[in-house]
Chains A and B, each alone.
Chain A
Amino acid sequence: DVKVTQSSRYLVKRTGEKVFLECVQDMDHENMFWYRQDPGLGLRLIYFSYDVKMKEKGDIPEGYSVSREKKERFSLILESASTNQTSMYLCASSFGGQAFFGQGTRLTVV
């Protein structure tokens, strides 16, 4: 089975902190994604990556950056956390159009 693992289930950070959300997949997928999930808004794409060191902006990249130094790892970075970034963050990897999600990280910024 494909496994996508996010490093934290729950995080509480202070406004202005730099926050790192880590995601690792074990199926050698080239494509990885970061989504944000908010009530009533579904899944919104923040960034994605087709290959190591490649990244593309999604629909809501403002306030975020990403890093993909190794194929299996895709990191989401909040440069300076703000309260409006309190949300559920979902990482996914995909192959042939099929996406596989991690369990999510619920981030609270206080």
Chain B
Amino acid sequence: GENVEQHPSTLSVQEGDSAVIKCTYSDSASNYFPWYKQELGKGPQLIIDIRSNVGEKKDQRIAVTLNKTAKHFSLHITETQPEDSAVYFCAASPLGGNMLTFGGGTRLMVKP
């Protein structure tokens, strides 16, 4: 089955700096890669996703890149703000599949 590894487990940045979270996956059949943000006391919420037919996707201050050959994908947050502080999860799934395999999570702390 799929195995997703996520690094780092914790990340502390200064407000305004960029943050990068990286994930690797093992199953070459995976072709859907969502990212979730979990704020304190809440369930994870989808913030951005990418499918294997593209290498990069942007949405305002967040972007995701995908390297299918190397089987890794990354979340980039620019101009970080205190409200970006949360736990972030990456995941992988076969397109149209029902099963998401999650990474272990990254706790991002943005210091004002």
Contacts and interface: CB of A to CB of B under 8 A. Distances in A.
B64 to A, nearest CB: 14
Interface string A74-110: 0000000000000000101010111111111000000
Interface in B74-112: 89, 91, 93, 95-100, 102-105
A4 B89 CA distance: 19
Interface of A: 4, 31, 40-43, 45, 48, 50, 90, 92, 94, 96-104
Contacts of A96: 96
Contacts of A42: 6, 89, 102-105
Given A40-B104, A42-B103, A97 B98 contact: yes
Given A42-B102, A42-B104, A43-B102, A98 B49 contact: yes
A104 B42 CA distance: 7
A101 B43 contact: yes
Nearest to B34: A98
B45 interface: yes
A99 B100 contact: yes
Contact of A40 (B9, B93, B98): B9
